[in-house]
């Protein structure tokens, strides 16, 4: 692994604009070399990913941070549509559920999706973000 880290691309899918603002600030502090796009619901995220995929699968984000409870298309519907459309057949994007839900059925449901790497409880903080990306580097 080189000492020159490449930029990490992240798609943040959450309907809470204040939460997105804070998450983006924290991610940029933890990962200086990051490009972050935010979508306010799963439908917008699917549309964004389809556009990105059309320009080349290598342009898909490295990470998708996905909230569960959103209008228009929630996190579960997003995952089903993402899989149905085969947006990332090579598995470039690592998907993490980021949710304030403390219900064990949501946590278990998240783990039932092979697409989902982990379930992370909100609120995000710099330590959780660093831990998430540090763990990923060593996988």
Q: CATH code at 12? A: 3.40.50.2300
Number of domains making up the chain: 1
Residue-level pLDDT at 92: 94
Residue-level pLDDT at 106: 92
**Residue 50 within a domain:** yes
Q: How far apart are CA 45 and CA 74, in angstroms?
A: 11
Stretches where the chain sits below pLDDT 70 are 1-6, 135-139
| DSSP-derived 3-state class of residue 69 | coil
- Residue 75, CA distances (Å) to 36, 80, 104 in order: 18, 9, 16
**Residue 2 within a domain:** no
Residue-level pLDDT at 3: 42
Residue-level pLDDT at 137: 60
Residue-level pLDDT at 133: 80
Q: How far apart are CA 88 and CA 11, in angstroms?
A: 14
**What domain range is 22 assigned to?**
8-137
**Residue 58 within a domain:** yes
Q: What is the pTM of this model?
A: 0.91
């Amino acid at each position: 692994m080189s000492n020159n880290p490449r930029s990490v691309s992240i798609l943040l899918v959450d309907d809470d604009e204040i939460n997105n603002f804070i998450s983006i600030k924290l991610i940029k502090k933890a990962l200086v070399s990051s490009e972050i796009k935010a979508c306010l619901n799963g439908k917008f995220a699917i549309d964004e990913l389809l556009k990105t995929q059309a320009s080349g699968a290598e342009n898909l984000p490295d990470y998708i941070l996905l909230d569960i409870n959103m209008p228009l298309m929630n996190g579960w519907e997003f995952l089903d549509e993402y899989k149905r459309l085969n947006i990332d057949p090579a598995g470039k994007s690592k998907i993490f559920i980021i949710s304030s839900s403390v219900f064990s059925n949501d946590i278990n449901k998240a783990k039932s999706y092979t697409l989902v790497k982990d379930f992370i409880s909100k609120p995000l903080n710099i330590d959780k973000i660093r831990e998430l990306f540090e763990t990923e580097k060593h996988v």
